[in-house]
A and B are shown apart, each in its own frame.
Chain A
């Protein structure tokens, strides 16, 4: 899933540089005032039988307004569920306004996220080889108008996701296009209205209340994909025509849109037509939600730290590292660390850096903590050392260590490895970095210093910060890209299956395979694992992750990402959503 934060956009390119692992320092004053956080919910279970209403949160009250600040984050451009693939937009709309086939619920005891039904009565029924999925739509779910949601409307909403040209930034461009039958020929109802009449990849039966989706290939993860709001209903006919629908979509969750100004503000108010009994995971505690997009980070920090009346019912989706200490002292438990299910990588060019020793030497030459620190992260908090390709929270994630223990900055070891590979006199590294931001420049400075200490010679190619490094890394004809032998990539999972991580990064020819890794036997595994029995898949992905690292070490995981959320004094149940890497909007309330 994409992160649309302005900073992250800059940092995505930079993020690779930005990101690295820290080797848990143990300096003086260890455990002073506890920088330890409880790991927020990680693994994801399924509970196909859960039904509404959602169990009450202990101590929760109705009423009040919750104000959410999203520093440096412009938020979604429109609210059309089919177009929503950003963490910010999805986390808000899925939790509060837009329902889909399935959804996640947070287990209050373990903090784990559980996949539960939403508009569907269960998590869907698949045929034996997972090429056809049928969802039964529950009877009592309603629109904000009070009209019931029909199977036809759900099928129509799913059919809209075939239209990549109309919804270019929607998740359908990836998953609908790759897994649904007919996606290759059918361009979607708006781009190809003639074919829409005869299209039968998504069918419905209004009387039996079922929606049936045919897959072009084995797709056992449809229940996870169903948790995207793009897999939800849309009103039939002209009412849902883009782009007007994106400005004021019809809600069906516990809240409806009162007003929306892109990059500025979104105001949600209670939807009185929402029936709690129809929804297994959402609550309707607060009367009103106000989301402030693109807030000023420093001002937001000041507000959250001030503890005044306004800040008590406010929360912020990120804080700056320069105020981390203040937040920890002032907010205590109300500063929540949430794993974002993302891994950052360095990608040595597999066609140019052929020796595994050199790739490992790069891993030892990367000065994890210093680079994080320079790029404005809090080492060990917002960035933690990574051991595997799959981030924590994914089913089957293996805790292997490719060299027996966590790789940390160790220039001597890097030199030894280089010598083993026959490069006693140094090794030339060519890499691009974003210039024009003090953050990325400072990080690059630290990276270069570490590399040089470890015996590498670094040639840097500055790229203006406005240009995402990905446009260079993913363009084979780019003249800078041709010179590079070290790139990077920053990847977040869309659901907790290795399917959304490993093939996207390491399949031959995959767009974000910036290492240009290509091994036939690994490609074969990518094809084979989705055909295994569902219960064996997580372990298989975990084993494959380990096998790739031990045999090839093609990409160097530098860090797992965490986000920090700051909650005001009167926000009840301050928690994060481990499935999306966002605040847990579903379960928040305003305490009296």
Chain B
């Protein structure tokens, strides 16, 4: 079977050979041996320092998200509701009414609450930050998974089948692209509340609906991209050859086409993830995100009025969102560069 990136592979090995030319023969032979395009890309990625730093940051957030309950209990903080007047100043005659009795902004560092307490609720900021990270990644990760799966399946089908099927799928894709995402999200949120508010599964329903909304309006880009790629691959000799020898269609799609689409898929996924993290925070800020569990967007929307008096409260979740989105974006860029050397700067 031929491979569109085969040429690149050859060029790369040639380059490798030159590079290793003054090294012992054994190593050189090893280098010449089969390295898949992905392996080559990975080796390029590893050499990219910025990408590695970003990967470390992303890994950090993923670990925090995975082990959130353990981290909070190890640090001795929790997201349990506390009586707000136990930890906040509720006496209007005292200075700092409405603000924490210990820690920032008016008192020194408090080891029990390293990132301070939230005004109004008295919630621990660190615990909420850690749990917020979990919510953010859970929602963005699931939405990315669903959106890319849907996008890949539809894109593959449309591109390969062509004809009426392609027309219908393309129409649906275009149709979804015309729906304003925010408007749809604002419309769906109250419907979900209406439907599930009397049941026990409200918190879950809210999360699922949010993932659904994000995925529903996130798959079109992938679908279009994949369809375009498939259209150009469909007429290539290796696909024709596979058809001629009578390979079943699903096998052609999975074994012949899909491996050649790894690059665009990895790229779109790595760029979709940060977009969803930001979108989730944005929706929470607008009051239509999750409410049952802590999230960065929620904290940001609560903290905005406190900017001048208690800036730390706003900076913490902002830092989380900014760092995660920035690292994911830069990492996505780096992956794209590694996979597609033609765009390399």
Mask for A15-39, Cβ within 8 A of B = 1, else 0?
0000000100111111111111000
Look across to chain A and name the residue whose beta carbon is closest to the beta carbon of B194: A464
Given contacts A367-B83, A438-B298, A325 and B96 within 8 Å (CB-CB): yes
- Interface status of B306 (Cβ within 8 A of chain A): yes
Q: Using Cβ atoms and an 8 Å threshold, which residues of chain A touch B197?
A: 461-463, 480
In the assembled complex, B1 has its CB within 8 A of some CB on chain A: no
Near A by CB (< 8 A), chain B positions 95-148 give 95-99, 119-121
CA distance A381 to B98 in the complex (A): 12
Query: Does B232 belong to the interface (CB within 8 Å)?
Result: no
Q: How far is the CA of A36 from the CA of B120 in the complex (A)?
A: 22
Give the interface centre of A374, A448, A449 by most chain B CB atoms within 10 Å.
A374
Whether the Cβ atoms of B95 and A29 lie closer than 8 Å is: yes
Q: Pick the residue among A324, A367, A439 that contacts B98 (CB under 8 A).
A: A324
Q: CB-CB < 8 A to B287: which residues of A?
A: 436-438, 465
Q: Which of B84-92, B154-162, B171-179, B210-218 touches A?
A: B84-92
Assess the B95–A34 pair: CB atoms within 8 A.
no
Q: Contact between A449 and B81 (Cβ–Cβ < 8 Å)?
A: yes
Query: Contact at A33–B88, with CB atoms within 8 Å?
Result: no
User: Is the CB of B275 closer than 8 A to any CB of chain A?
Assistant: no
Please measure, in the bound complex, the distance between the C-alpha atom of A449 and the C-alpha atom of B86, giving whole angstroms.
13
Total residues of chain A contacting the partner, CB 8 A: 57
A322 at the interface (CB under 8 A from B): yes
Distance, CA A370 to CA B88, complexed state (A) = 9
Task: Please report the C-alpha to C-alpha distance between residue A373 and residue B304 in the assembled complex, in whole angstroms.
Answer: 17
A435: Cβ under 8 A from any B Cβ: yes
Q: Which A residues are in CB contact (< 8 Å) with B91?
A: 25-27, 30, 35, 379-380
Which residue of the partner chain A has the closest CB to B310?
Answer: A322
Chain B residues within 8 Å of A33, by CB: 95
Q: Is the CB of B92 within 8 A of A450?
A: no
Determine whether the beta carbon of A298 is less than 8 Å from that of B305.
yes
Closest Cβ of chain B to A10, distance in Å, is: 11
B288 within 8 A of A: yes
Separation in Å of the B194 CB from the closest CB of chain A? 8
What is the bound-complex CA distance between A437 and B291, given in angstroms? 9
User: Within the assembled complex, what's the spacing in Å between the Cα atoms of A464 and B94?
Assistant: 36
Once bound together, how far apart are the Cα atoms of A450 and B81, in whole Å? 10
Asked whether B74 is an interface residue with its Cβ less than 8 Å from the other chain, the reply is: no
Q: Once bound together, how far apart are the Cα atoms of A409 and B147, in whole Å? A: 49
Quick check: A464 and B193 within 8 Å, CB to CB? yes
B86 nearest CB across to chain A (Å): 8
**A466 located at the interface, meaning its Cβ lies under 8 Å from any Cβ of chain B in the complex:** yes
The total of interchain contacts (Cβ-Cβ below 8 angstroms) comes to 132
What's the Cα separation between A30 and B86 when bound, in Å? 17
Report the bound CA distance from A373 to B309 in whole Å: 17
CB-contacts of B230-245 with A (<8 A): none
Interface residues of B in 173-187 (CB under 8 A from A): none
Q: In the bound complex, how far is the Cα of B90 from the Cα of A326, in angstroms?
A: 16
Which one of A29, A297, A436, A438 contacts B94 once the chains associate, using CB atoms below 8 Å?
A29
Partner of B83, one of A302, A370, A380: A370
Bound-state CA distance A73–B190 (Å) is: 24
Interface of B is mostly: loop
8 A Cβ contacts from A433-452 to B: 435-439, 441-442, 445-446, 448-450
The smallest C-beta distance from B106 to any residue of chain A, in angstroms, reads 9
Known: A34-B93, A321-B98. A449 touches B305 (CB 8 A): no
Give the chain B neighbours of A321 by CB distance below 8 A: 98
- Per the bound structure, the CA–CA distance linking A323 and B98 in Å amounts to 9
Interface centre among B81, B91, B193, B305 (most CB of A within 10 A): B91
Q: Which of B84, B89, B120, B202 contacts A27 (CB 8 A)?
A: B89
Contact A380 B92 (CB under 8 A): yes
Q: Are A35 and B98 interface neighbours, CB within 8 A?
A: no
In the complex, chain A residues whose CB is within 8 Å of the CB of B308: 302
Output the nearest chain B residue to A26 by Cβ-Cβ distance. B91
Distance in angstroms from B304 CB to nearest chain A CB is 8
- Asked whether any CB of chain A lies closer than 8 Å to the CB of B301, the reply is yes
Q: How far, in Å, is A323 (CB) from chain B's closest CB?
A: 7
Q: Does A436 lie within 8 Å of B98, measured CB to CB?
A: no
- Judged by a CB distance under 8 angstroms, whether A261 is at the interface is no
- Chain A window 406-429, contacts with chain B (Cβ cutoff 8 Å), 1 for yes, 0 for no: 000000000000000000000000
A450–B84 Cα distance when bound, in Å, is 10
A320 within 8 A of partner (CB): yes
Contact B92 A369, beta carbon cutoff 8 Å:
no
- Among A28, A31, A379, A445, the most chain B Cβ lie within 10 Å of the Cβ of A379
In the assembled complex, A582 has its CB within 8 A of some CB on chain B:
no
Contact with B along A442-484 (1 / 0, CB 8 A): 1001101110000000000111111100000000000110010
Q: Does B302 contact A (CB under 8 A)?
A: yes
Q: Could you say which residues of chain A place their CB within 8 Å of the CB of B198?
A: 461, 479-480, 483
* Cβ–Cβ contact B90 & A25, under 8 A: yes
Taking beta carbons and an 8 Å cutoff, which residues of B are in contact with A? 81-86, 88-99, 119-121, 189-190, 193-194, 197-198, 202, 287-288, 291, 298, 301-302, 304-306, 308-310
29 inter-chain pairs at a CB distance below 8 angstroms, sorted by A residue, are: A27-B91, A30-B91, A32-B94, A35-B92, A36-B93, A298-B304, A298-B305, A302-B308, A321-B98, A322-B305, A325-B99, A367-B83, A373-B120, A379-B85, A379-B91, A381-B92, A438-B120, A438-B301, A439-B120, A442-B121, A442-B302, A446-B121, A461-B197, A462-B193, A463-B193, A463-B197, A464-B190, A465-B287, A480-B197
12 A-B pairs besides A449-B83, A464-B190, A480-B198 with CB distance below 8 A are: A26-B91, A28-B94, A29-B95, A32-B94, A36-B93, A298-B305, A320-B305, A324-B92, A369-B90, A370-B90, A380-B93, A438-B302
Q: Which A residues contact B (CB, under 8 angstroms)?
A: 22, 25-36, 297-298, 302, 320-326, 367, 369-370, 372-376, 378-381, 435-439, 441-442, 445-446, 448-450, 461-467, 479-480, 483
Chain A to chain B: the 7 pairs with minimum beta-carbon distance, closest first:
A35-B93, A35-B92, A25-B91, A370-B84, A464-B190, A436-B287, A380-B92
